[in-house]
C-alpha cells in the first residue's frame, strides 16, 4: 500500500473510537489516509465527533442511499449491540437495531471496499444458538468476502476494563491474515482515576452504606477498586472495571464503593486520549462511552488488517478450511 492514500468510512461512529485507533496506526506506518464518510443517528455523538474531528457525521444510515456513499478502501462499523447484548432483550434481528447489519451489507455490496472491520458484543456469537452469527458470516461470504473473527478482551491490551467484544474482519480478495495481537499488562486504576472529583459524582449515603454491608467480610486488597453490581445485586470490589454499559444504572460501577466514574475516567477506560474534548453532559457521555470501542483493541486489529492488505492475494481454494482451523478458539 506504499504511496497510496487509503480512504475510510466510519459507520455508527459514536465518539470516534475507530477513527482514533486508525489515525494512530496509519501515522505509525506512515501511510496517508483520509475519512470520506461518517454517520451516526445520535445527536450527542454527532456533536462530540464534530468537536474532535471537525466533521459532522451524517444521520440515519437507513435513510442514506448506498450509492451516495463515497468510494472507500476500508469500512469500519461498531454496529448497535443492544439487540444481542446479555443485558438487553437479545431479540437479535427481531429488534430494529439488529437489522442495521444489513445496511452494512448493502454498502459492502455497492461499494466493494478492500476490507472491513466490524465490532459487536461477545453475545452475538452465541445468540439464538449461534444462528444469528452464522447468518452474518454467511451474508458476508455471499458478498464475496473472506472473513475472520475473534473475541478480544480490553483488559488484555492494557486497559483496566474487562470488556469482551467480537471483531469480524473481511477482505474482498483472499489474503494471508494473522491476528497480530500484542497483548500488554493492565495499567493500574491509579493511572485512570482522577485525583479530585466534584461532589456530584458521589453516591448517596444510603447507597454507600448498602455497598459496605454487601462486601462485609470480603477482603479488599487494592487501594483503588471499582465495585461492580451484577444483575443479581451482588457486589464485587475489583482492581479493574467491568464493561462500561450504555444503559446501566448510575450506581452500576462505583469507585471504592463511593462514587461514580467521571466522564474523563470512562474515556480513559476505553483508551481515549486526555486531549479528547468532552462537549456533552454526564448522561450522554455515559451512554456514548458505554457504546464505544476500546481503542487499544482496535489498534491491534487495524494493524493486522493493514499487514494483510500489504501481502499477496491467495487462492480461495481450501481457504475456508484453513480459516476454520485458525479460528477454532474464539480467544
State how far the alpha carbon of 169 is from the alpha carbons of 45, 104, 114, 254, 263, in Å: 24, 13, 11, 35, 30
Helix axes of 282-291 and 43-53: crossing angle, nearest 10 degrees: 80
- Going through 146-299 in order, the beta strands assigned E by DSSP cover 146-153, 161-162, 164-171, 226-229, 235-238, 241-242, 253-255
The active-site residue out of 13, 39, 81, 280 is 81
Q: 116, 110 in Cβ contact below 8 A?
A: no
What are the grid coordinates assigned to 235, written together? 457486589
Our answer to whether residue 87 is catalytic in this structure is no
In whole angstroms, give the CA distance from residue 110 to residue 76.
16
User: Using a CB cutoff of 8 Å and minimum separation of 24, what contacts does 53-62 make?
Assistant: 53/16, 53/19, 57/10, 57/13, 61/11, 61/12, 61/100, 61/103, 62/100, 62/103
For residue 237, what are the β-bridge partners?
227
- Please give the Cα distance from 51 to 277 (Å, whole number): 7
* Residues tagged active-site: 81
Amino acid at each position: 500500500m506504499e504511496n497510496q492514500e487509503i480512504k475510510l468510512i466510519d459507520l455508527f461512529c459514536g465518539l470516534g473510537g475507530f477513527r482514533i485507533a486508525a489515525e494512530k496506526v496509519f501515522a505509525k506506518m506512515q501511510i496517508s489516509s483520509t475519512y470520506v464518510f461518517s454517520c451516526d443517528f445520535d445527536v450527542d455523538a454527532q456533536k462530540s465527533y464534530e468537536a474532535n474531528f471537525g466533521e459532522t457525521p451524517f444521520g440515519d444510515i437507513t435513510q442514506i442511499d448506498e450509492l451516495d456513499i463515497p468510494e472507500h478502501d476500508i469500512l469500519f462499523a461498531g454496529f448497535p449491540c443492544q439487540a444481542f447484548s446479555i443485558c438487553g432483550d437479545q431479540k437479535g434481528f427481531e429488534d430494529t437495531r439488529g437489522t442495521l447489519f444489513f445496511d452494512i451489507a448493502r454498502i459492502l455490496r455497492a461499494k466493494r471496499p478492500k476490507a472491513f472491520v466490524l465490532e459487536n458484543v461477545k453475545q452475538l456469537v452465541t445468540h439464538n444458538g449461534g444462528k444469528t452469527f452464522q447468518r452474518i458470516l454467511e451474508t458476508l461470504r455471499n458478498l464475496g468476502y473472506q472473513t475472520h473473527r475473534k473475541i478480544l478482551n480490553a483488559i488484555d491490551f492494557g486497559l483496566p476494563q474487562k470488556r469482551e467484544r467480537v471483531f469480524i474482519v473481511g477482505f474482498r480478495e483472499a489474503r494471508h491474515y494473522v491476528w497480530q495481537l500484542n497483548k500488554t499488562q493492565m495499567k493500574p486504576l491509579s493511572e485512570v482515576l482522577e485525583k479530585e472529583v466534584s461532589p456530584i459524582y458521589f453516591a448517596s449515603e444510603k447507597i454507600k452504606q448498602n455497598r459496605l454491608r454487601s462486601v462485609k467480610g470480603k477482603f479488599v486488597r487494592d487501594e483503588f477498586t471499582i465495585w461492580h453490581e451484577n444483575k443479581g445485586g451482588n457486589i464485587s470490589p475489583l482492581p479493574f472495571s467491568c464493561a462500561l454499559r450504555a444503559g446501566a444504572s448510575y450506581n452500576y460501577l462505583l469507585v471504592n464503593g463511593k462514587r461514580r466514574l467521571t466522564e474523563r475516567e470512562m474515556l480513559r477506560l476505553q483508551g481515549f486520549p486526555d486531549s479528547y474534548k468532552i462537549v456533552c453532559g454526564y448522561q450522554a457521555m455515559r451512554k456514548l462511552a458505554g457504546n464505544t470501542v476500546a481503542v487499544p483493541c482496535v489498534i491491534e486489529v487495524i494493524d493486522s488488517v493493514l499487514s494483510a492488505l500489504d501481502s499477496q492475494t491467495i487462492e480461495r481454494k481450501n481457504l475456508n478450511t484453513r480459516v476454520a482451523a485458525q479460528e477454532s478458539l474464539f480467544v
